Structure 1
Amino acid sequence: MAVTKIFFNARLKVMMALAAAAGVVIALRLVDIQVLRHNAYLQMAERNRTQVLYQTAPRGRVFTADGVAVASNEPAFSLYYLGGNKDPEYLERLAHDFAPRLRLPAPLMLEKLQLGAKSGKATLLAENLSTKSTVALQELQLYYPGIYLIEETKRSYPYGGFASHLLGYLGSMDDRAWRTRDLKLGYRLNSKLGKNGIEKKFEKELKGKDGGVYLEVDYRGRVKSIIEDKKWGAGSDVYLTLNFAVQKAAEEGLKNSKTGRGAAVALDTRTGAVLALASAPAFDPNIFVQYSDEENPNQSKKINEYNLAVQGIYPPASTFKIITAAAALEDGHLDVDHKINCPGHYDSGPRVFKCWGTHGPVDFFNGMSNSCDVYFYAVASQIGAASIERVQRMFMFGRQTGIDLPGEKAGNLYGPTRRARNKTYWFIGDTLNLSIGQGELLVTPLKMAQFGAAVASRGNVYRPYYVDKIVSNQTGKTEQVGKTEILQKADLKPETYDLLFKALKYTVDNGTARRVKIKGLDVYGKTGTAQNPHGPDHGWFMAFAGRPGEEPSIAVAVFVEFGEGGSSAAGPIARSMLEAYFGLGAYAPKPRAAEDYKELLPEEHSHGGV
């Protein structure tokens, strides 16, 4: 019993000695931490966090064929809270001071700050801030540790609605886009991406490689140093085939037309390249990327995305008389000198068809130049609808042009074949309507431009294309996108094309297309006024032109919805486009003043807030 007691006491003393020794060690450690090495350990505690702020790379720019940037980038700033000071009173003061400058409700601002404080991670408070607002924000940074401004880029369209239906616009990443995103492109929840047009089609090429800043911050969120500044890589530049001056002339002409509604297309007759493609009304894609701290009370994001140039289908009216004439010339049933009397109407037997005027005796050239309906009624009655349909098919009427744009409509081929297939009758009245481009015949403005280019090139039906090349800002490599492609050959006799050229030139020099007679140019054209049972008639103008002694190099088709007359409504627009193309108009781009040009160049990269 005594031995056990002695053994227990010895163990107790050992344990007490060990506890005392441990206490001494802890005490010495506390003295070391809090007294001897207090400053060193405080610095270590303050340098124990890293925050990552991502920087959106500049999107690739979009240029016209003549080098005008129609989609570029401007500096923009994002404001972050680095999740340091969690004091409720501090957060409320911060929200109260910053919210008005960011045009945000103070409660929303406070909620963002509280979430950031709780997570301890960098929290985006506002993005797309203008340069002018950053002066006040940078000043406030001095009084509120944990607030950090970083420079990024914002999409900019310097010429507003220029080619808006081609360029498209940007939008925020939605759930569907997030689920189907390309992981290699590094999208984030607040990323902007193309929603329409070129911005969407070439999203992969236009989107750059985002950069980022890795910050070392203390427990209050104060930036101690920049660990790494990861440079961004700008997206690739897209070069269009558009001619700036021609596109500008088309857009201004449509905007200032009688109704402000319509479409205008210009094609290179030698390649099929799109020189202009305008649809009115247009929209300004800047409304989707405006600075978040600027007021734009009159702008609405409800836009008209309907591209009338490729989606609007209408009867081509008298511009189609070129087809009727070609069919008659091919069949050998047209004596160009033979005159047909126009008393102002044509008696088909079952029905009397009116002409828009009383022209008296007219031959082929006067019939075309005066757009005499009676002349073409008589010609069509002689050759029959099947011949007209055959030439229609040669120029690909009733089929899409093949342009790489979504939603293109094919229009409607009009002729007896489909009626026969459906076992329904074809009447003489159908033939007469077909001969002057009315009835069930439907085309898009782009189709008429393709047709004009085909006639001008003596039969080459080109696939229209609007992108020339893509140039990488990171590697410098060029990818050729556009190419000349003949879809079909309208193989008419050489003498048929000769007579068509002569008649269309005569129409410009002496007939209804006189509005496009331009000194120093050989212009060939045809007007059209399409009947509209729902309101005023529509106006058409189709033309192609070249310098004297040269082959035509541009074809244009202009359509003015409810314009009433092709010559009066669409003619002046076609003239302006031709003048712009040949350098005779006043539509060359005006350079912006240096202080107004804020585009951030691809190699520029900076950040703020330190």
Structure 2
Amino acid sequence: MAAVKVSFNNRLRFLLALALLAGAVVALRLMDIQLLRHSHYLHLAERNRTQVLYQTAPRGRIFTADGRAVASNAPAFNLYYLSAGPQDEPYLRRLAEDYAPRLGLTVSQVRDKVQTGIRSGKAVALAENLSPKQVAALKELQLYYPGVYLIEDNKRVYPFGSFASHLLGYLGSIEGQEWKNRDLSLDYRLNAKIGKNGLEKKFEKELKGRDGGVYLEVDYRGRVKRVIEDRKWRPGADVYLTLDFDVQRAAEEGLKNSLTGRGAAVALDPRTGAVLALATAPAFEPGMFVPYSDEPEVKSKKISEYNLAVQGIYPPASTFKVITAIAAIEKGGFDPEKTVYCPGFYDAGSRVFKCWSTHGADNFFKGMADSCDVYFYTLAAQTGPAAIEKVQRMFQFGKPTGIDLPGEKAGNLYGPTKRARRRSYWFIGDTLNLSIGQGELLVTPIKMAQYAAAIASQGKVWRPYYLDKVVYHQTGKVLREGQPELLGTVDIKPSTWKLIFKALKQTVDEGTARRVKIKGLDVYGKTGTAQNPHGDDHGWFMAFAARPGEEPSLAVAVFVEFGKGGSSAAGPIARHMIEAYYFPEKTKYE
């Protein structure tokens, strides 16, 4: 009997100890909740009793130099059913029947969404990205259905369609790796829109605003009780570009209506390197990635992000003859009045090189105006490839221009130095090809524009830039500014520049570049037709212009892929760009 009593007492002590231990654990947990981590659990509790219907902040706008918004925002609306509203069967049936046709849904689809909201006790989206046209009819219905709530939102719009599309880029839903690598300082949500390409991507941090939202109070079951706060969004910063709207539009219209509808056109200010136009064709519609819900679905959203203006590399053809001429003049003993007879070909001994026409006796100025290959073959043979390569390097051929855009190609410098490094031979035929911009020589349209601008400024090689400034418009604070940057100079004699200018002026007034002869302007230019072993030749046109008595303020380069000839294919586009810059009041585009 004593043994049983001892065993009972031991069990009692064990149970008491176990109870004390459990009490201590509970006490410690209560201390943790109420004292040590009170604020953390308070935050969780607050979050559990609220729901947020987010509102996307307006992205910063993108402006051209003349103040036109080429990327802006338009109102869009989301329609929610709040489970705090009436839930009787007749009410829900009328709601579904009235809203379904206005949302492009079936009655059963609306009923299913409403039932989902009722079961979860949370707000549920009946429709998103509604247009103002759709909302006009929906607002009236709100008077009869207090359980339905319209939330104003924003969507990206591009008022001028495909304008500068390869430069501006486009938006898309945030995905996979982008979500993992997102900037945590920005309030992204799943399926948020983010810059995918171009300036929309490059200036994402500046353009992205701070989202707002409608904060709803819910009960412990998650059912909506009331609206606590309508928190306003904060728009993103605005981006101002150096683009001239009229010149850009002229470039795009010209390329679109060209022989092939494929190519690029670039315009620079030769005094600073500011980009006045940067066009690639074919273009695309950035707005197709952010349509309203009542807009027709685009069957295929595949586009070419290949920006031919900075990534396409081609031989510069006869535009390069300016460099051959500079090398010959700078070498000494050059007589611009001395003539070379062109029978339509040049006999190099082992091979005969053809000219595109039979020009007869040409001096330097007529040889440039006629773009006579034989004249420049002769000049190059007398000058030598090393001197031509030296001038190439001064113009920074074979290097990227440095424009702040992804994927820019460097092109290829062509001369005897690389051959010597590879211990390979340089032949007379290489010199002749080099003299007229053929062979292994390659440039991009942006490089051609930089080259034209360097000639126009008499030797200043600027880094092209397109950003004027980024401004937070609510305060006027400037977040970033673009600045001219001189990369180098073409160090030649003033008398050489004088001869070059005279020759290029005569090329416009009397020669192959007559298409850009414009009354009231001094225009200088050079055509080029690049041989293409894969099809029709490509067309080049480079030019620069000034008002009489002033320094040149515009340099352009136009490239038409498979255009057959520079004068016929690219010349009219260059002309329209020049006219749009100097006489915008006469240039009208729909």
Which runs of no fewer than 5 residues in structure 2 stay unpaired? Answer: 1-47
Q: Aligned partners of 2:126 and 2:415: how far apart in 1? A: 63
- Kindly indicate whether the alpha-carbon contact (under 8 Å) linking 2:77 and 2:130 is maintained by their aligned counterparts in 1: yes
Q: Aligned partners of 1:175 and 1:94: how far apart in 2? A: 38
Aligned ranges for residues 365-404 of structure 1 at < 5 Å?
Answer: 365-404=365-404
Q: Aligned partners of 1:219 and 1:143: how far apart in 2? A: 28
Q: Aligned partners of 1:95 and 1:180: how far apart in 2? A: 41
Aligned ranges for residues 180-579 of structure 1 at < 5 Å?
Answer: 180-216=181-217, 226-296=227-297, 300-579=300-579
Distance 1:104 1:407, change over 3 A: farther
Aligned ranges for residues 6-45 of structure 1 at < 5 Å?
Answer: none
- Kindly indicate whether the alpha-carbon contact (under 8 Å) linking 1:334 and 1:379 is maintained by their aligned counterparts in 2: no
Distance 1:529 1:139, change over 3 A: same
Deviation at 1:183, TM superposition (A): 2.0
- Kindly indicate whether the alpha-carbon contact (under 8 Å) linking 1:287 and 1:300 is maintained by their aligned counterparts in 2: no
- Kindly indicate whether the alpha-carbon contact (under 8 Å) linking 1:505 and 1:524 is maintained by their aligned counterparts in 2: yes
Matched residue type, 1:572: P
- Kindly indicate whether the alpha-carbon contact (under 8 Å) linking 1:145 and 1:222 is maintained by their aligned counterparts in 2: no
Q: Deviations over 1:263-287 (max 9, x none)?
A: 0000000000000000000011111
**1 or 2 for the larger relative contact order (CA 8 Å, sep ≥6)?**
1
Distance 1:458 1:64, change over 3 A: same
- Kindly indicate whether the alpha-carbon contact (under 8 Å) linking 1:99 and 1:106 is maintained by their aligned counterparts in 2: yes
Deviation at 1:185, TM superposition (A): 1.3
Identify the range of structure 1 (102-111 vs 491-500) with the bigger mean alpha-carbon deviation: 102-111
Matched residue type, 1:413: L
Distance 1:107 1:264, change over 3 A: farther
Deviation at 1:218, TM superposition (A): 8.5
- Kindly indicate whether the alpha-carbon contact (under 8 Å) linking 2:269 and 2:453 is maintained by their aligned counterparts in 1: yes
Identity of counterpart residues, as a percentage? 72
1:59 aligns with 2:36: no
- Kindly indicate whether the alpha-carbon contact (under 8 Å) linking 1:166 and 1:197 is maintained by their aligned counterparts in 2: yes
SS, match of residue 287 in structure 2: helix
Q: Aligned partners of 2:371 and 2:363: how far apart in 1? A: 11
SS, match of residue 527 in structure 2: strand
SS, match of residue 205 in structure 2: helix
Q: Deviations over 1:45-99 (max 9, x none)?
A: xxx9644221111111111001111111111101123244696967787566545
Residue in 2 that maps onto 1:166? 167
Q: Deviations over 1:253-304 (max 9, x none)?
A: 111111111100000000000000000000111111110122255x631222
Q: Aligned partners of 1:92 and 1:185: how far apart in 2? A: 41
Deviation at 1:383, TM superposition (A): 1.1
Distance 1:54 1:378, change over 3 A: same
Residue in 1 that maps onto 2:155? 154
Distance 1:112 1:394, change over 3 A: farther
SS, match of residue 437 in structure 2: coil
Give the TM-score taking structure 2 as reference length. 0.87
SS, match of residue 183 in structure 1: coil
SS, match of residue 185 in structure 1: coil
How many corresponding residue pairs? 542
Q: Aligned partners of 1:585 and 1:330: how far apart in 2? A: 42
Q: Aligned partners of 2:419 and 2:467: how far apart in 1? A: 40
Distance 1:357 1:308, change over 3 A: same
Matched residue type, 1:350: S
Q: Aligned partners of 1:263 and 1:302: how far apart in 2? A: 20
Distance 1:587 1:117, change over 3 A: farther
Which runs of no fewer than 5 residues in structure 1 stay unpaired? Answer: 1-47, 591-610
Deviation at 1:146, TM superposition (A): 2.8
Q: Deviations over 1:430-458 (max 9, x none)?
A: 11111000111111000000000011111
- Kindly indicate whether the alpha-carbon contact (under 8 Å) linking 2:389 and 2:414 is maintained by their aligned counterparts in 1: yes
Matched residue type, 2:573: I
Matched residue type, 2:366: N
Q: Aligned partners of 1:408 and 1:580: how far apart in 2? A: 27
Q: Aligned partners of 1:539 and 1:459: how far apart in 2? A: 25
Q: Aligned partners of 1:292 and 1:304: how far apart in 2? A: 25
- Kindly indicate whether the alpha-carbon contact (under 8 Å) linking 2:129 and 2:293 is maintained by their aligned counterparts in 1: yes
Distance 1:486 1:455, change over 3 A: same
- Kindly indicate whether the alpha-carbon contact (under 8 Å) linking 1:85 and 1:220 is maintained by their aligned counterparts in 2: no
Deviation at 1:130, TM superposition (A): 0.3
- Kindly indicate whether the alpha-carbon contact (under 8 Å) linking 1:146 and 1:222 is maintained by their aligned counterparts in 2: no
SS, match of residue 198 in structure 1: helix
Identify the range of structure 1 (68-77 vs 286-295) with the bigger mean alpha-carbon deviation: 286-295
Deviation at 1:100, TM superposition (A): 4.4
Distance 1:586 1:296, change over 3 A: farther
